[in-house]
Chains A and B, each alone.
Chain A
Amino acid sequence: MRATPVPEFMLEPAYDPSGSGRDPIGAGALASKGLNVRHGTILTLEDINVSFDGFKALTNLTLYIGVGELRCIIGPNGAGKTTMMDVITGKTRPDNGVAYFGETLDLTQMSEVEIAQSGIGRKFQKPTVFEALSVFENLELAQKTNKSVWASLRAKLTGEQKDRIDDVLQTIKLDASRQRPAGLLSHGQKQFLEIGMLLVQDPQLLLLDEPVAGMTDAETEFTAELFKSLARKHSLMVVEHDMGFVGSIADHVTVLHQGSVLAEGSLEQVQADERVIEVYLGR
């Protein structure tokens, strides 16, 4: 009797240590309640295609992020890093492909607001804070709570929520400027405020677009420590150009090139990869 072969799409992606881009890792780490991450993968992108007026920004992009993982994405300008984040957060709809948050949430069917509420936080490339509001008020708005109109009309901070904001203010070292309008902060402080807003939002997956741009060396070092302490409890995806920073935080690096994954593995591995050297040095 002939055994019917199981179609390929029904198979779990197998763990492939050589880094083919189809290896969900981080299995076994615990995710917060409410999100189905049975197989240890918090984010699944498969064969994503995005084109703008014929220009292919993403081609067959496939990427998995494991629960509790800290993943760095690097790649030359125009590699599709920001477009990928736009796809994950619902800002851009892919032409085709699969994008799942956990096992059950189809990101291509959800609005930006629904995606944010389900637990994906994003830091923009250019620090974006509410400039007219004070530092404290910025954190108050970002805090995880009921965000409907009616709730906001009658919202009052509980002691617990205030303590949480105070904690984060300490963490991001902005306690002294809590009443200053955010528009008056320095560039680096705005970066930290935006990171703080993500912290109080308490998302399960954090997307960080160039978080250390414009920071001093000391601030960068501090940020690296902060991110490392966040991993495990949260999953992080960091897009960054600063190789020193990437080396200090990442256990796993993905290189994007022309809209798809070029290489994946530890920083040493990808730095030794012939194709990566070619792309970066233009040989």
Chain B
Amino acid sequence: MTMPMNQTLLARASAKLGPQASMAIGLLVLAVLLAMPLLHLLPADNALHVSAYSLTLVGKILCYCIVALALDLVWGYAGLLSLGHGLFFALGGYAMGMYLMREAAGDGLPAFMSFLAWTELPWYWYGTSNFLWALCLVVLAPGLLALVFGFFAFRSRIKGVYFSIMTQALTFAGMLLFFRNETGFGGNNGFTNFRTILGFDITSAHTRAVLFLATVVLLVASLYLGWRLARSKFGRVLTALRDAENRLMFCGYDPRGYKLFIWVLSAVLCGLAGALYVPQVGIINPSEMSPTNSIEAAVWVALGGRGTLIGPLLGAGLVNGMKSWFTVAFPEYWLFALGFLFIVVTLFLPKGVIGLLRRKSS
């Protein structure tokens, strides 16, 4: 007898794995993540020193984990496959990048604007030298876009593959827009050469450590939020919406509000992840909006196991870990490996890696 594909409650998963065992693994991973930035502060000749490269790499993967979790909330729970989440991630990143560019430029214009011989800032750059306003933009830019897009899409009852195609088109349109120099976001070079954040040197060990810790905190907070949502009646309504939307409507629920809420929440989470990604990686450009990035995020979720909270994190971690190893060892074969992995998961692991772990333990 097969279990239904989704598990609404994380509790069911941990009950099978043994609550103590999964709790212990979770705490161990968290402890390692918290220790990493501290070890980075050790002198470079110390045996336990974590290099800036590894710290940045793990920080980057943690940001991707947040994206995977956000995507899973809309795909795994509400059944809306978005192939445009890279757009929300990039918008959050650009909002943070605007602040970093202003910080680097001091009182003058950001360098790319001087190259274009612009004499004043476009109106939407107004106030971006203020960190708090930049943070607001990090939430507002992806949030408002998702709100408007979602409002019209859900009102017209667009779903399934049509919804996926439209999100894909949206991120592609975003990419083309940001590639233009006239848009005022640095064209195809995007933003780079950041110097300071809140006055602290962006490349210093302490700044890196703090940014890394902030990412860990955001990840844990999103996980907690997802857990609370999945356990609430709201989460059960989302699952019902995914499986039998008509039935739910005849029960008296309006699906539009539910979809819109989770869709906007997911976009905002992506934006926050993007905002933490940019200062750690040191660059943001329109290629972050390319459709392949968004599709790759869907691969992480499918591979890890959608409809669960831990699955997408595993998926994002595994794929990106492999990617960074592969692109060093056999750079030309990475895309083949990714495709192969996706086929294997689709054919043999419909519930993803987490499904495999569960089957083993039960």
Contacts and interface: CB of A to CB of B under 8 A. Distances in A.
Interface string A196-208: 0100010000000
B251 A141 contact: yes
Given A117-B252, A141-B240, A129 B233 contact: no
A17 B17 CA distance: 68
A149 interface: yes
A151 to B, nearest CB: 8
A195 to B, nearest CB: 13
A130 B240 contact: yes
Given A132-B243, A148-B257, A116 B4 contact: no
Interface string A127-148: 0111111000100111000011
A122 interface: yes
Contact of A130 (B1, B232, B239, B252): B239
A117 to B, nearest CB: 4
Contacts of B246: 91, 124, 128
A225 B246 CA distance: 28
A247 interface: no
A122 B261 contact: no
Given A124-B247, A142-B251, A133 B239 contact: yes
Interface string A82-121: 0000000101000000000000000000001100110001
A248 interface: no
A155 B257 CA distance: 16
A132 B5 contact: yes
B250 A112 contact: yes
B236 A137 contact: yes
A181 B240 contact: no
A181 B232 CA distance: 17
B224 interface: no
Interface size class of B (residues with CB under 8 A): 20 to 34
A173 B276 CA distance: 53
A130 B247 contact: yes
Contacts of A130: 236, 239-240, 243-244, 247-248
A122 B246 CA distance: 11
A197 B251 contact: yes
Contact of B250 (A89, A152, A181, A183): A89
A184 interface: yes
A149 B253 CA distance: 9
A153 interface: yes
A201 B252 contact: yes
Contacts of A154: 232
Contacts of B3: 181
A142 B234 CA distance: 13
A131 B237 contact: no
Contacts of B5: 132
A116 B254 CA distance: 10
Contacts of A121: 250
A153 B232 contact: yes
A153 B250 contact: no
B220 interface: no
A132 B237 contact: no
Given A149-B257, A152-B232, A132 B8 contact: yes
B311 to A, nearest CB: 15
B249 A141 contact: no
Nearest to A156: B233
Instruction: List 3 A-B pairs, minimum CB-CB distance, nearest first.
Output: A155-B233, A116-B252, A130-B240
15 contacts: A89-B250, A113-B252, A116-B251, A129-B244, A130-B239, A130-B247, A133-B239, A141-B233, A141-B251, A142-B251, A149-B234, A149-B258, A152-B234, A152-B237, A152-B258
Given A113-B249, A141-B236, 5 more contacts: A130-B243, A153-B232, A153-B233, A184-B1, A201-B251
